[in-house]
A and B are shown apart, each in its own frame.
Chain A
Amino acid sequence: MPAGRLRVLPESLEAQSTRLRRLRGDELQSAIADLRTLSQRLDAAWSGEARAAFGDGFSSWLTRVERRGHDLERLAGFLSATAAECRALEADLVDGASVVPERPHNNDATRAQTSAGGAGGLVGTAGPLFGLGGGINARAGGTFSPIALTGNPLEDLWNWLMSLFGAAPQPQSTPTPTAMSPLTVGVTPGSTPDPYPWAPTDSGGASPVVCTADPSTTPANLQPYLINAACTDLVGQLEPDQAALLIQQVNSGQTILTPLYVNGFWVLQATDTLTGKTSILATAQDEDGSAVGNDGGAASPGGGGSGPTGAQDPAEAARLIQKVQDNGAKISPERVTWIRELDDGRIVWLEQGNDRSGLEHIVASHGDQFQTKGVPPADIPAILADAIESEPVLVFDSGEAIYSVSYGGNRFHVLIAVGDNGYIVTAHPISLP
């Protein structure tokens, strides 16, 4: 097995689940009971304020330990559920491998275009994510089934991508999530990100993904769809030789190919299983330029007209990233959500970041405050892009500035802190006196 690959068996998951339940049910409960007994004995040996203070503190600590026990129980439940899903998926795969599936979509026209090389040309293997407006909403991945190979690598790739999203009949308006749905992770546009996606009781993390020939016409349906045209656009950006090599690498386990849905954009990502390095092979926006996952509804709530998008010309983004790099500043192109050149010549960008800075930090720490202003997490990047391009209301020497922004008809102020290199550290709504 190549380094960097992780193989998890359902049996292992269940064994770990049992171990966690035992840890919680036996060892932890027993330890807590022992500690309570010791505490009671200690109570009898002294008195006064110190005893009371210690008693309160110790009791509070024990309560927190018990809560960790609940966490263990939840984790155990999650592992059991995942094991069951793995088994079900394996059964589906076995069933699926025994027959050659019919093409689920009428894709003759788009297939012809793809086979001819498409219109996009080769994008390259290290391009940044441009104008994505937020975090990853959905993903799926896997390996090729040799039985499905047609001999045309572009067509094979097209078929494989579409098959990841299910072989359901073409839906009319509200597609039904397929068997692949439980595999998807991420944040549904308009929902609050789940800080504990592993926890089975927090259902906000899953985002069903289905395949369809047309975007949904149901505003309430938040599922992202890989439509024929978007798939063609993705595949059309690859050369046949490159597609053939990819298929070979995927089948040999050297590469994991993953289509990601990122707030209205489809991104074809390759991961080197040996080094873990990822690269972006192609990006595609929906035909109408809207976020299909939102069906256009969440991006402009109640405001009439178009809402913020944060979208950006990829060539312009690449130019700015190159400029930042030429200036010697550190930037992670594959993690850039958007990048802007301001009137004063400064280049400012928003990266996915982590729990200490960047988009992840902003959503985790201030998502609730943006929500108070009616802004869902998925639209925070676009709000910040709009703000940074406007004239600030107040500027501080510390690199912080306050901007006036509008969303859904509401106007409010946002404070944005930018590092010396142009990286956005944090941002949040603020009330001015």
Chain B
Amino acid sequence: MAKQIKLMAEYTADVPLWWADGEQVGFVNPVTLGLSDQLVGQLRAWNLRYRALLNRQDPASTPDMAVDDQRQFEAEGRRLAQDLATFLGSTCKIQYFSQVERRLLEF
């Protein structure tokens, strides 16, 4: 059965890949997936943009992304999800948690 992995930005993540198969939990080690360094770097950079938003002194006041930034962030997230799905093929099902639509999208 294909593994199920979720791409979702989060403050606690380095590479924001999560188990979503209902059995394992937490982060997916990208090394075990054989992802290229380039793709891992892009995933890390994408999540860093999300983490950089956090106001650690007063997290409840963490601002929203600017509209243009949000749009770009969303587009980049979907592209990364598509790249993951393409790279992993039938061995994995990729879900993407859209910050804009607040729901999971299948890739």
- A interface residues with partner B (beta carbon < 8 Å): 195-196, 329-330, 332, 351, 353-358, 364-365, 368-369, 372-373, 399-400, 412, 415, 417, 419-421, 423, 425-426, 428-431
B24 interface hit (Cβ, 8 Å): yes
Of chain A, the residue at the smallest CB distance from B18 is A369
Main secondary structure of the interface of B (DSSP, over half): loop
In B1-54, which residues have CB < 8 Å from any A CB? 8, 10-12, 18-20, 22-27, 53-54
CB A261 to nearest CB in B, in angstroms, measures 25
Interface pair B12/A421, CB less than 8 Å apart: no
Residue contacts A-B, CB under 8 angstroms, 20 given: A195-B103, A330-B60, A330-B61, A351-B60, A354-B60, A356-B64, A357-B59, A365-B8, A368-B20, A369-B18, A369-B19, A369-B25, A399-B56, A419-B58, A420-B58, A426-B10, A426-B12, A428-B25, A430-B26, A431-B27
Interface pair B26/A431, CB less than 8 Å apart: yes
Which residues from chain B contact A417 at a C-beta distance below 8 Å? 11-12
With A and B bound together, what is the CA distance between A332 and B59 in angstroms? 12
Interface pair B25/A364, CB less than 8 Å apart: no
Interface pair A372/B23, CB less than 8 Å apart: yes
B90 interface hit (Cβ, 8 Å): no
Of chain A, the residue at the smallest CB distance from B22 is A372
Interface pair A330/B58, CB less than 8 Å apart: yes
Which residues from chain A contact B54 at a C-beta distance below 8 Å? 357, 425
Of chain A, the residue at the smallest CB distance from B54 is A425
B87 interface hit (Cβ, 8 Å): no
Which residues from chain A contact B12 at a C-beta distance below 8 Å? 400, 415, 417, 426, 428
In B73-107, which residues have CB < 8 Å from any A CB? 97, 99, 102-103
Interface pair A365/B97, CB less than 8 Å apart: yes
Of chain B, the residue at the smallest CB distance from A368 is B20
Q: How large is the interface on B (under 10, 10 to 19, 20 to 34, 35 or more residues)?
A: 20 to 34
Interface pair B57/A420, CB less than 8 Å apart: yes
With A and B bound together, what is the CA distance between A355 and B70 in angstroms? 14
With A and B bound together, what is the CA distance between A415 and B59 in angstroms? 17
CB A331 to nearest CB in B, in angstroms, measures 8
B57, B60, B61, B97 — which one has the most chain A CB atoms within 10 A of its CB? B60
Of chain B, the residue at the smallest CB distance from A370 is B25
Which residues from chain A contact B59 at a C-beta distance below 8 Å? 357-358, 419, 421, 423, 425
Interface pair A423/B102, CB less than 8 Å apart: no
B72 interface hit (Cβ, 8 Å): no
Interface pair B25/A421, CB less than 8 Å apart: no
Of chain B, the residue at the smallest CB distance from A418 is B59
Which residues from chain A contact B57 at a C-beta distance below 8 Å? 419-421
